[in-house]
Amino acid sequence: MNILFVCDKKYVMPMTVCLTSVFENNRAEKIDVYILHSPLLEKQKEMLINLAKSYGQKMHLLLVDEHYFSDAPTYQWAKESYYILLLNEYLPKDMDKILYLDCDIVVNKSIKELYETDLSSFPLAAYGQKDHLNYRPCLGLNPDDLYFNSGVILFNLRKSKELLDYKKATDVIEKMGKTLFIVDEGVLNIIFDKKIKQIDQKYNNYLITDYYAKRVRRLFNIEDKKLIDETCVFHFITKPWNNLYRGLCEKIWYKYLIISPYKDLYTNKYSKLRFKILRTSFFKSIIYEYIGISPIINKIAMKMFSEKTHKKLRDFYMRNIN
């Protein structure tokens, strides 16, 4: 089983939590982990290698040359998000299949069934849904077709490499310009449009973590326990490690944090009373209402502050709330 991640040094912690969850729930599998990364700290690399060794698995750290995507627009995303587009450039030529996972994910069950999905007629498999946010028209695609989330992608490398390489990716980026607001995901939806095998939502459930929850569910902290039990892969589009978190299911993320190399972070931070208060449904509801008006605040801030100051404020917002 081949697993792929992309990250920078800031995202090593959540990626490690995800890795721990993969190893814990797939002990019977032989796993090769490939991480496409920008420069990491030596202690981070050592920790990742030792984590894989402790489960009898293999770790491959692949440093990406800094010239890749150096001029690509990133908006609020990290440049490393684009590294998923470098399958041709960095993965072994004889590899047939690899499962890509975002760092903001935990795997709560075996992913063997997902990995063994038949891709003989498809370059990839992913979870797509009706484009209720109107992303597809912005990308020049038919609005009636499915838009897929790039958090969990099973690649048939024989077929996907025929369609995707660095040049083809940069051609799309240059053509789309500022309309490419969700960087790597937009490129993938354009290149693999109508060539995707649909997977079950349980393998990339970003709705269960409450991203689109109704106010009453958020206020009373109502969780769909049946759906939680059925979900294999929890995708935290809002980040449970941030100081302020408005979603659900953070206890599942904590479950793997506690047994990861970053377990002291839970003891020293997230288990404290102030965080337990911030994680109550009352505070989550307040944060959610703030998020609702944040686009208005953002527009005002753009007019009030310089571009540099506005970027610092936005970075603070992304780090603590989103």
Report residue 269 as tokens. 């931070």
CA distance 273 to 282: 15
State the pLDDT at residue 311.
Answer: 65
| 191 and 290 inside one domain | no
Cross-strand pairs, 152: 101
| 111 and 143 inside one domain | yes
DSSP 3-state assignment of 129?
Answer: strand
In order along its 322 residues, the chain shows pLDDT tens digits of: 999 999 999 999 999 999 999 999 999 999 999 999 999 999 999 999 999 999 999 999 999 999 999 888 877 788 999 999 999 999 999 999 999 999 999 999 999 999 999 999 999 999 998 766 678 888 888 888 889 999 999 999 999 999 999 999 999 999 988 777 788 999 999 999 999 999 999 999 998 886 555 556 666 666 778 888 999 999 998 888 887 777 778 899 999 999 999 999 988 888 888 878 877 777 666 665 555 555 555 566 566 667 667 566 666 555 555 5
Q: How many C-beta neighbours within 10 Å does residue 272 have?
A: 12
Last residue of a domain, one of 171, 203, 235: 203
* 234 in Cβ contact with 253 (< 8 Å): yes
What is the count of structural domains for the chain? 2
| 163 and 263 inside one domain | no
Evaluate whether residue 209 is within a structural domain. Answer: no
Domain CATH for 143: 3.90.550.10
CA distance 282 to 42: 41
State the pLDDT at residue 196.
Answer: 94
State the pLDDT at residue 78.
Answer: 87
Last residue of a domain, one of 174, 203, 232: 203
| 135 and 77 inside one domain | yes
User: Which is it for the CA torsion 13, 76, 128, 3, positive or negative?
Assistant: negative
| 236 and 256 inside one domain | yes
Where do the H-state alpha helices sit in the chain? 12-25, 42-54, 87-90, 112-115, 135-138, 157-163, 166-176, 183-191, 215-219, 225-230, 250-257, 263-265, 273-278, 281-304, 307-320
For residues 280-290, one letter each, b for 16 or more C-beta atoms within 10 angstroms of the residue's C-beta and e for the rest, the string is eeeebbbbbee
| 92 and 197 inside one domain | yes
Evaluate whether residue 187 is within a structural domain. Answer: yes
Evaluate whether residue 314 is within a structural domain. Answer: yes
State the pLDDT at residue 297.
Answer: 56
State the pLDDT at residue 287.
Answer: 64
Evaluate whether residue 273 is within a structural domain. Answer: yes
State the pLDDT at residue 272.
Answer: 86
| 151 and 187 inside one domain | yes
Evaluate whether residue 257 is within a structural domain. Answer: yes
Evaluate whether residue 104 is within a structural domain. Answer: yes
Evaluate whether residue 210 is within a structural domain. Answer: no
Give the range of the structural domain holding residue 286, as residue numbers without chain letter: 215-320
| 147 and 226 inside one domain | no
| 107 and 21 inside one domain | yes
| 155 and 294 inside one domain | no
Evaluate whether residue 133 is within a structural domain. Answer: yes
State the pLDDT at residue 279.
Answer: 73
State the pLDDT at residue 284.
Answer: 67
| 253 and 189 inside one domain | no
Last residue of a domain, one of 160, 182, 203: 203
Report residue 298 as tokens. 């953002």
| 15 and 113 inside one domain | yes
